[in-house]
């Protein structure tokens, strides 16, 4: 049983205090839904959890270790944000090849694409994909790292109902394997997760 715990987190962006005395914790197998209006700091929170932002006050513990100090923490999470790490002028296949190098892990492109039924796009340029198709591929970065934490920043944006269901299924399966997921959203998706916090005051 592992726990991700945030204690009294204060986080500034520029001169502006975005996260204010935030406290919560989640356990293995749970999903936390972070709600909040535009600009309430959802993305900021996930980036702090992912160690990209390190100038926060307060503490973040995972498995009773401070994430800022734990050198192995890098391999324990995957962050999927709005930037989709795809090179527009390359084909989907070549982009997946680049990911293989980045993550140092080989996965067949077909296996990755078929999950969202995108296999026919394998030779297309990324620039010619629709927004939703790009988002689906971006989400598949999850396949490349074997982490216990998923930080998903508005992952349902651009996805249609079918693909949203596929993603929901992925999250549930991950939870069953004791994975911890944090999902942000700014609208009511009608989805039920184990825990929920709201960043609005």
Partner 1 sequence: MYNLILRDLYLALYSSANFFYTSSFFILILVLLPFIFGTSIDQLQLLFKGILWIGLSLSIILTMERIFNTDYEDGSLDIILQKNSSLEIIVISKYISHWVVYCLPLFIILPLLSLLFYLNTSDVFAIFLNLLLGSFGMIFIATFVSALTLAAKRTIFLKAIIMIPLFVPFVIFGSGDNSWLILLALSMLSFVVSIYVSTYGLRLYGES
Partner 2 sequence: MYFRVTKNHINAIKAANPYLILSTVTAFVIGLYYALIQSPPDYIQGDSMRIMYIHVPSAWFALMCYTILAGSSVLWFITRNPTFNLVARSIAQIGMMFTVLSLVTGSIWGKPTWGVWWVWDARLTSMLLLFFLYLAYIFLWQAIANKDIASKISAALAIIGFINIPIIKFSVDWWNTLHQPPSISKLSAPSIDVSMMLPLSIMTLASLLFLITVFFIRFRIEVLDNKILRVGDEI
Ligand X SMILES: Nc1ncnc2c1ncn2[C@@H]1O[C@H](COP(=O)(O)OP(=O)(O)OP(=O)(O)O)[C@@H](O)[C@H]1O
Binding site for Mg ion (CB under 5 A): 43, 130-131
Q: Find all residues with CB under 8 Å of 111, minimum gap 6, and list them.
A: 143
Q: Does 200 bind partner 2 (CB under 8 A)?
A: no
Q: Does 198 bind partner 2 (CB under 8 A)?
A: no
Q: Which is nearer to partner 2, 46 or 53 (CB)?
A: 53
Least Å distance, CB 16 to partner 2, is 11
DSSP 77-93: EEEE-SS----TTSBHH
Q: Which is nearer to ligand X, 103 or 158 (CB)?
A: 158
Closest CA to 197 of 46, 61, 41, 35: 35
If one counts every other C-beta atom within 10 angstroms of the C-beta of residue 171, the result is 20
The DSSP secondary-structure symbol of 193 reads -
Terminal-residue alpha carbon distance, the chain: 31
Between the CA atoms of 83, 99, 121 and 139, what dihedral angle is there, to the nearest 10 degrees?
-50
For 74, 97, 99, 117, 171, the CA distances from 108, given in Å and listed in that order, are 24, 9, 11, 14, 21
Choose from a copy of itself, partner 2, partner 1, none: what does 15 bind? Cβ within 5-8 Å by kind. Answer: partner 2
Out of 23, 25, 127, 178, the only residue in the binding site for partner 2 (CB under 8 A) is 127
Name the residues that contact ligand X, by CB under 6 A. 13-14, 16, 18, 36, 38-44, 128-133, 158, 186
Out of 1, 15, 72, 120, the only residue in the binding site for partner 2 (CB under 8 A) is 15
Q: Does 29 bind a copy of itself (CB under 8 A)?
A: no
Stretch that binds partner 2, among 3-11, 21-29, 104-112, 123-131 (CB under 8 A): 123-131
In the complex, the residues that contact partner 2 under the rule CB under 8 A are 14-15, 89, 124-125, 127-128
């Amino acid at each position: 049983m592992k726990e991700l715990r945030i204690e009294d987190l204060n986080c500034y962006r520029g001169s502006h205090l975005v996260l204010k005395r935030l406290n919560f914790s989640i356990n293995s197998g749970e999903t936390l839904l972070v709600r909040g209006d535009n600009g309430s700091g959802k993305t900021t929170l996930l980036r702090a959890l992912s160690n990209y932002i390190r100038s926060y006050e307060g503490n973040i513990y995972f498995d009773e270790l401070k994430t800022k100090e734990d050198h192995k923490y890098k391999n324990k999470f995957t962050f999927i944000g709005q930037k989709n790490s795809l090179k527009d002028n390359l084909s989907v296949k070549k982009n997946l090849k680049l990911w293989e190098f980045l993550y140092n892990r080989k996965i067949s492109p077909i296996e990755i694409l078929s999950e969202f039924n995108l296999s026919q796009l394998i030779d297309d340029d990324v620039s010619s994909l629709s927004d939703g198709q790009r988002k689906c591929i971006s989400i598949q970065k999850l396949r490349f790292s074997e982490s216990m934490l998923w930080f998903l920043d508005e992952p349902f944006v651009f996805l249609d109902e079918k693909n949203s269901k596929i993603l929901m299924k992925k999250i549930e399966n991950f939870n069953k394997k004791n994975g911890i997921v944090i999902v942000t959203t700014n609208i009511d998706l009608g989805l039920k997760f184990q825990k929920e916090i709201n960043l609005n005051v």
